Amino acid sequence: MDTNSQNLKLEDHFCFSLYACSRAILRLYRPYLDELQLTYPQYLVLVTLWEKPQRTIKELGEILNLDTGTLTPLLKRMEAAGLIERRRDTVDERVMNIHITQAGQLLQEKASCVPQSLFDATGMSKKELDEINETIMRLLHQLNGEGKK
Amino acid sequence: MDTNSQNLKLEDHFCFSLYACSRAILRLYRPYLDELQLTYPQYLVLVTLWEKPQRTIKELGEILNLDTGTLTPLLKRMEAAGLIERRRDTVDERVMNIHITQAGQLLQEKASCVPQSLFDATGMSKKELDEINETIMRLLHQLNGEGKK
DNA sequence: TAAAAAAGAATTTTGTGCAATTTAATTGTT
DNA sequence: AACAATTAAATTGCACAAAATTCTTTTTTA
């Protein structure tokens, strides 16, 4: 019947499950992030700045795997919203330093329930999710490593 | 030290690993899909049409979890590229039927090496990837189920 | 059977992603 | 010092992605 058996069905493409799952999770985040007036990548930027309140655009790009074409306008919107400040480095003026503001710091408290809410929505155990996370992280590093060769 | 211990670091957000991994895989696909003059979601549309050569936009949206705001312009570009045809259903004129063309069929052969190439790039065993796929699919169904409640 | 409700697409708007190009600043080399 | 190479951002252009709105067609129902 099937003359070309090497062609996989959709559900056999593991890339599709990742792609669809990633978007499904963004949909779950949306109501929480809407309340904070944030988009998902903006939230990720804040997560990194809550850990360390000043970073360069280059650092953010490496951490989040995003390039300047994405980050520059995104950070400008965040600055307009008062969550961060963009300041040229005085020593090396090519570098743009991103600082979190008081308002950005305050959001940490309001956002603290988000991870728990998301966890609940998955309907999975902590152990199971940790295992998924560990596996996907391993795959991610593998893929990023391959790409740089 | 940390006054707010419920705030997770970036690598503890399992959503981030999925988000980043999904984009990393798209980057791996790009060179292969560039050769076929396809984007990733366009490739997915073709995969579904290779399985079954005619579907409605509604069906495609349900299978791929994409809405018409994404699909309508995407399918118009694919029609302009000669890969599909869009025809109103004669019985129910609200319905738009998507047919694969001869040119779209021919791409199946040219694309048949893509899954294997991607598999190689992951550096993981078939068994391991099948397990990831199974787990992520389960998570996806869980998330989609939750969303509909 | 006419009005209301529902269904399927299309459109509009906003915000990513990413490749490719450009600009400005710094470093390295004669 | 002069010039090439490198680095960090910004810009440009195209293609998603998703919510909200509108439009058309079909179905339901009073």
pLDDT at residue B3 is higher than 60: no
pLDDT at B4 over 80: no
**How far is residue A2's CA from residue A5's CA, in Å, rounded to a whole number?**
6
CB burial string B93-123: b at 16+ within 10 A, e below: eeebebebbeebeebbeebeebbeebeebbe
Nearest to A112 among B6, B24, B47 (CB): B6
Distance of CA A116 to the CA centre of its chain: 17
Give the mean pLDDT of A12-17: 88
- Two tokens at B16? 């981030």
Contact call for A10 and B48, based on CB within 8 A = yes
Nearest alpha carbon to residue A64 among A148, A146, A144: A144
CA dihedral (B145, B40, B16, A144) positive or negative: positive
The Cα of A19 is separated from the nearest Cα of chain B by a number of Å equal to 5
Residue B146: predicted pLDDT? 57
> Cβ of A77 < 7 Å from strand C?
yes
Report, as an integer, the average pLDDT of A34-45. 96
Distance B73 CA to D22 C1' (A): 17
CA of B47, C1' of D8: distance in angstroms: 40
Q: Which of residues 62-81 of B touch A (CB under 8 A)?
A: 63-65
What whole-number distance in Å separates Cα of residue B94 and Cα of residue B31?
A: 37
Q: A61 or A148: whose pLDDT is higher?
A: A61
Nearest-CA distance B17 → chain A (Å): 6
Query: Where residue A146 falls among pLDDT bands split at 50, 70, 90?
Result: low
| CATH of region A11-119 | 1.10.10.10
Tokens of B71: 């699909």
**What pLDDT sits at residue B59?**
97
* Cβ pair A10:B143 closer than 8 A: no
Helix/strand/coil for B86: strand
pLDDT, mean over chain B: 90
More confident residue, B72 or A14: B72
Nearest to A142 among B7, B50, B123 (CB): B123
- What does the pLDDT read at residue A4? 44
How long is the CA A47 to C1' C5 vector, in angstroms? 45
Mind giving me the DSSP string for B91-139? Answer: SSTT-EEEEE-HHHHHHHHHHTTHHHHHHHHHT--HHHHHHHHHHHHHH
- Tell me if the domain spanning B12-134 has CATH number 1.10.10.10: yes
Q: For chain A, what are the domain ranges?
A: 11-119
* Residue from the list B14, B51, B116 with its beta carbon closest to the beta carbon of A133: B14
Give tens-digit pLDDT for A71-125: 999 999 999 999 999 999 999 999 999 999 999 999 999 999 999 989 888 888 9
Task: Say if residue A65 is exposed, middle or buried (CB neighbours under 10 Å; 0-12, 13-18, 19+).
Answer: middle
Buried b (16+ CB within 10 A) or exposed e, B45-58: bbbbbbeeeebebe
Q: How far apart are alpha carbons A8 and A16 in whole angstroms?
A: 12
Check CB contact under 8 Å for B143 and A21. Answer: yes
> In this complex, do A115 and B21 lie within 8 Å of one another by their Cβ atoms?
no
Q: Tell me if chain B has a CB within 8 Å of the CB of A123.
A: yes
- Cβ pair B4, A108 in contact under 8 A: yes
Tell me the three-class secondary structure of A36-101, residue by residue: CCCCHHHHHHHHHHHHCCEEEHHHHHHHHCCCHHHHHHHHHHHHHCCCEEEEECCCCCCCEEEEEC
